[in-house]
């Protein structure tokens, strides 16, 4: 596969993800990635969510550790934020999950 085809496929995956998720469902998926894996992408997802939840700095260079689909999810939770509404737990709760509990377990696992 040449680079042009690879980039076109990644862009298609990105657009499909952006159209299929919202902030809450994207936060849930990233939390599940972080809870179910120990990869560098899982670490990036955990640190992004925890930094947003607790108002701490995030090293944006970590985003390159995410694959195309999970990067799109990260972009969704970061896009159009309001500084006083950076609570992934709230978005997860609005999406039908216990966001507070998910974030507590995430914080315990990654101990950041």
Crossing angle of helices 3-20 and 68-78, in 10° steps, is: 40
Give the C-alpha separation, 78 to 59, whole Å: 13
Joined tokens for residue 103: 């974030």
Residue 81: the pLDDT is 65
Span of 34-38, 67-71, 107-111 with lowest mean pLDDT: 107-111
Give the C-alpha separation, 106 to 19, whole Å: 26
Residue 87: the pLDDT is 85
**Of residues 20, 104, 4, the one with CA closest to residue 54:** 104
Give the C-alpha separation, 43 to 51, whole Å: 12
For 55-101, how does the pLDDT look when each residue is reduced to its tens digit (9 = 90+)?
889 999 999 999 999 999 999 999 866 666 678 999 999 999 999 99
Cα torsion angle, 55, 86, 81, 33, sign: positive
């Amino acid at each position: 596969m040449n680079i042009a085809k690879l980039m076109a496929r990644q862009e298609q995956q990105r657009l499909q993800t952006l159209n299929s998720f919202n902030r809450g469902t994207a936060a849930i998926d990233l939390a599940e990635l972080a809870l179910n894996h120990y990869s560098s992408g899982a670490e990036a997802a955990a640190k992004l969510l925890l930094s947003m939840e607790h108002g701490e700095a995030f090293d944006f260079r970590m985003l390159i550790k995410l694959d195309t689909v999970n990067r799109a999810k990260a972009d969704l939770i970061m896009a159009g934020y309001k500084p006083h509404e950076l609570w992934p737990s709230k978005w997860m709760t609005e999406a039908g999950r216990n966001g507070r509990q998910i974030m507590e377990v995430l914080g315990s696992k990654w101990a950041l």
